[in-house]
Amino acid sequence: MPIEINHYYLYRCGLSSFAALMAGPDAQQVFPERPTRHPRRQSDRRLHYRGGRRLLRFALGARARVAVIRYHALWRGSERSRGREADGGRAVQNHSPCPFCNADDALLASSLAYVRPDKYPVTPGHMLIIPVRHEPDFLAIRFEELEAIWTLVVEAKALLDGKFRPDGYNLGVNAGEVAGQTIAHAHLHLIPRYRGDVENPRGGVRGVIPAKQQYEL
C-alpha cells in the first residue's frame, strides 16, 4: 500500500521535504488546500490589534508627557516645600527655586552628587555634599546616590586636609523640619573642626540637644 504524505501538515512542522525523501518515489503526494479562517474572526483580530496599538500609543504618550513635566519641575526647582508660619502655624508653600538644584558653584562633582561650600560656614572649610536629583529626605535617597555622596566625602576631606589642615571633622544630616532642616533638598554637612574652636567639644553632634551634650561615662 503506497504511503500517503499530507504536505500541508508536514509543512507546518517543517518536515515536508524530509518525509518525501524517506517515503520514496512510490509515495502518493497529497497537497490539500490550507483551511481558510473565518472572515469575521480575521476582522476581529485586526480590530483588536488596532485597538491595542492605539491604547499602547496613548499610554506611552501619557507617560512621556508625565516625564517631561517632571523633568521641567526638577530643573526649574519648582518642587514646593512646606513650611510653618511663625504666628499661626498654618502650612505655607515655598515658591522660590531650590538653591541646591543648581550645581554651578560645585567644587567637586560626579553624575549623581556634587560638593559646594556652605554659604554660612560654621568653621572655615565647611562643605555640603548634595545629590543632583531633587529629593527632600536624605533617608530616602537611592543607594547609588549614597555611594556617590560618600565617595565625594573622601575627596572633599582630602581637599580640606591640604588647604586647612583641620584637627577633626563633624559629619551631619538634618532630615526633617523638626531636625533643623531648612532647605528641602537632602544634603550632608562636612564640618572641619579645629582645636580651641569651642570651649568644650565633648559630645560632638549630641550638641543638637544642648542639655544632652555633656555626659559621664
pLDDT digits (tens, 9 = 90+) for 102-152: 999 999 999 999 999 999 999 999 999 999 999 999 999 999 999 999 999
Residues with Cβ within 8 Å of 47's Cβ and at least 6 positions away in sequence, in order, are: none
Name the average pLDDT for the chain.
Answer: 74
Spatial contact of 159 and 126, defined as CB atoms under 8 Å apart: no
Q: Where are the beta strands (DSSP E) in 62-211?
A: 81-84, 91-94, 108-109, 113-117, 127-131, 168-172, 188-193
Quick one: how far is CA 156 from the chain centroid? 24
Between CA 6 and CA 118 the distance in angstroms is 83
**pTM of the predicted structure, to 2 decimals:** 0.56
95: confidence class by pLDDT, cuts 50, 70, 90: very low
Measuring CA to CA, how many Å separate 49 from each of 87, 152, 215?
61, 52, 73
DSSP per position, 167-208? SEEEEE---SGGGT--SSS--EEEEEE-TTSSS--TTGGGGG
Is the model more confident about 24 or about 151? 151
Spatial contact of 106 and 115, defined as CB atoms under 8 Å apart: yes
- C-alpha distance across the termini of the chain, in Å: 104
CATH of domain 100-197: 3.30.428.10
Between CA 19 and CA 35 the distance in angstroms is 21
pLDDT digits (tens, 9 = 90+) for 188-201: 999 999 999 999 99
Is the model more confident about 132 or about 47? 132
- DSSP three-state, residue 214: coil
Instruction: Report pLDDT for 215.
Output: 78
